[in-house]
Structure 1
Amino acid sequence: MHVDMDAFYVSVELLKRPDLIGRPVIVGGLGGRSVVLSASYEARRYGVRSAMPMAVARRQCPQAVVLEPHQDVYRTFSGQLMQIFESITPLVEQLSVDEAFLDIAGSMRRLGPPRVIGELIRKRVADELGMTASVGIAATKFVAKIASTRCKPNGLLLVPKEQTVDFLHTLDVSALWGVGAKTREVMARVGIATVADVANTPPTVLRRLLGAVGDHVYELSWGRDPRAVTPVRREKSIGAEETFASDVSDDDILHTELLRLAHRSAVRLRAAGLQCRSVSLKLRYADFTTLTRTRTLPEPVDSAQMIYETTKGLLAALGPRPQSVRLIGLRAEQLESAEGAAMQLTLDGREDSWRSAEDALDRINQRFGELGVVPARLIAPSPRKPPAEPDPSPGGASGGPGQRPG
C-alpha cells in the first residue's frame, strides 16, 4: 500500500484558513528566487507545480493566494500521520513528510481485506487530521505508487495481482521508475512509447539503448519489483541550504548563513540521535557553477558550532572567490548513532561547552517553540529609530524640565 497526502502543505495551511478552501493557493516564499513547495489542485489547473519558480507560478496564476510555509507545523502533522500508519502495521517505510509504503499482509486478519484497510486509513486521516489522502494498493511497491498517483486527489485504487500486467501496459513509458525526460527521448527514437512497448522489446535491445537501466525497466514493465517495505530508513546525510535573494560577496553574510544552517542541521541530528563524521560545504556562484568541499572530522559531532567552524574553514580554504555567491549550503554526512558514543573533548573544553549550551537551547525550544531562542548573531538587528523631534513648547511636553513626558 502507498499512502500519499493530497497537497499536504496547502492542506495544513487551510486548516487555519478555511476561507481559502476552493481557491487557488500556493505555499512558498515570496522572495525573487523562491520556489513553489505545494499548490492546491485549483492552482494546478493553471499549470502551477511543486519546485516551479514562484515568479513563474504567479504569472500563470495571478489570482492565487501565496502563503508562507511553516515547517515545524508540517513536521507535527507528519508525526501524527505516521502514528496512524503504525497503528495499522509496524511495517511502515516513510518516504517523506506526507507519504509512506505500508506492508499490510499481516494486518488483514485483524482489520479486513486491503480495500477495507485503505478506506480505514483514509477515514482516520480525515477524522483525526482534517485532510485527505490517496491510497494505492497492489502486489508490489512500484505498482502501488502508480496507483496512488492515478487516483489523486482523495481516491483509492486497488490493482489486483492478476491484473498487474494489464494495468501497467496501458500506461505511458514515463510511468516506469528510472525513465526521465532524456531516457524517454532515447526510447521514443526507436518507437518505444508505452510500458507495453518496453515489455515487448528484447532485454538485449534495452541494454544497448539504456545500459544497466535497461534490465531494470524491463522487469518493471512486467510488474516485477521484489523490494520489500523497509521500516527503518536511516538518513544518509542531514543538511540545509539557502538561495539568496541577491548574490552575495560579503564574508560576514556568508558566515552568518552558515551558522544558521549549522544550527538547523544540528537540531535535526540531535533529534534523530545521530552524529556526523564528516561535513560538506556547497557553494553555487552567480553563473550557476556549483562546487562542494568535504572534510572528515577527528571525532563524530552533533554540535552546530563544530559544524559551523568546519564549513567556515572549508569556505576560507577556497581562497578568493571569482564571483558572488547565489547559494550556500552544508551537509552532515557519515552519520552514526550517538547512543553510547564517547565524545573526545578538546583540551580547552570548547566542544563540551558548546554542546551543553546547545542542549539547553534544545530544551528551551522544545518547551516554548522551535527557534524561540537562537544565537545572538542570528537575530536580525532592529531598524534604528529616528531621533525624536524636540518639543517646541516651553519645558517640553510635560511642562517642566527634567520630567518624563506622559
Structure 2
Amino acid sequence: MRGKLQLLLCAFSMISSVALLVSGCSQDKDTEQAKAEEAYVQEIPIHLESGWAVGGIASNGDMAFCLLTEDVPMTLNLRSAKLCAWDLLSGAETVLYEYTNADGFYINELQATANEVFWVRTEGEQCAIERLDLATREVQMIEQYNWGGYDVLLQCDGSYLTWYRLSDETAFIRGYEIATGTLFDIAEEVVADFPFIRANISDGICAYAVDQGGERKIQVYDLFEKKQLREIPLDADIALFNIVADRERCLYSILKENTVDYRIFVYDYGDGKETVINEDESMYVFYWNYDDGRLFLNERNDNAILMKTLNTGETSIISNQGNHLYILSRITSDGSYIVLDSANEVIPVLTLIKAS
C-alpha cells in the first residue's frame, strides 16, 4: 500500500515520491525573487546528488523546510532522512534533524507552524505522528497506530492538525489542538471514497462527507467551537476527491468513473447557491488548493499556477514565466502557497508564493 500511495499521490501532488537526488541541503546564493502580477514569488533551488530524494516541503512564513531522504536500494523504505531549513529573509541554511536506520523506515507528510514541524514516520508495523520543537529540536510522539495498510495524511492551519484514520470497515477524523497538545475526534463515521483524501482545514474549519440513511451530505465543522456549522446535501452517487471549507463557502471536486473530474463546485453559505468553476474541459487542473477566498489552480497545460479570487471572479497567473513542472502544492500555516518545481530533476526549486 505504501508503494501505491507513493505513486498515486505523486500523480495528485499530495506527497513526495519524485526521484530528486541530493547529498545535503544547499541553496543557490542568488535565490530568485520576482513579482508575478499580484504575487510575490520566492524560489529556492535545491542542489541534488545521487542517492537522495525530496520527501516533503513546508513553510511557516519565516522559514522554508525540505525533507531529504535516502532510499534503501531496491525497496520502498528509507535509510536516512534529514530536515533542512532556510531563513526566508537571510537565506541562512540549517539542518534541523537527522535520522538513520539501516533496517528501513518511511517518513513523509511534512507540515509546519511558527514553532514546530510535524511529520508521519512509519517503521516496522507502527505509524507515528511526530512533532519537532523548533526551539529545542526535540521530537515528541503525538499518536501511534498499527499501520494496517492505510497511510496517515496530515493537514494543518497553524492552530490544528487533522488526519483521516482509515480501515477496511471504518473511517473517522482525528484532530490535534497544537497550543494545548490535545487530541480529539472530529467525526467518528465519515465517508472516504478515495483512500488518500485529506482532512483539509482552513481557519479552524474542516469539512467531510457522511452517509446518513442513504443520504449523502457534506458536514462543515468548527474546530474552535467543536460544533457542526451546516450540512450540504449531495447526490447519493457522488464520490468526493477533495473537500475544503471555510466560514463563507465550501469547495469540492468529485471522482467520476474512478477518475478526477475537472470541475470544482463552490457552495456559498450566504445564498445557498452552488456554482461550478472550471467548466472549460480544455483547462487541465492537475490539483487545486483553497484559502480565504482564493482558489489556487495548478494548470498543467501551461504548467502555471493560477489564482482565482472568488469574490471578484478574476483569475491571474501568479507563477514566474519559464519552464515549470509543479508538484506537492499546499497552503502554508501563514496563508502562503508552497509548491515544488520539479522541471529540473537535478535542481528542483522550492517555490513560495505570497498572494495579495
Is TM more than 0.5 here? no
Larger RCO: Structure 1 or Structure 2 (Cα < 8 Å, ≥ 6 residues apart)?
2
- Name the structure with the higher strand share: 2
Q: TM-score, normalised by structure 2?
A: 0.27
Q: TM-score, normalised by structure 1?
A: 0.24
Larger Rg: 1
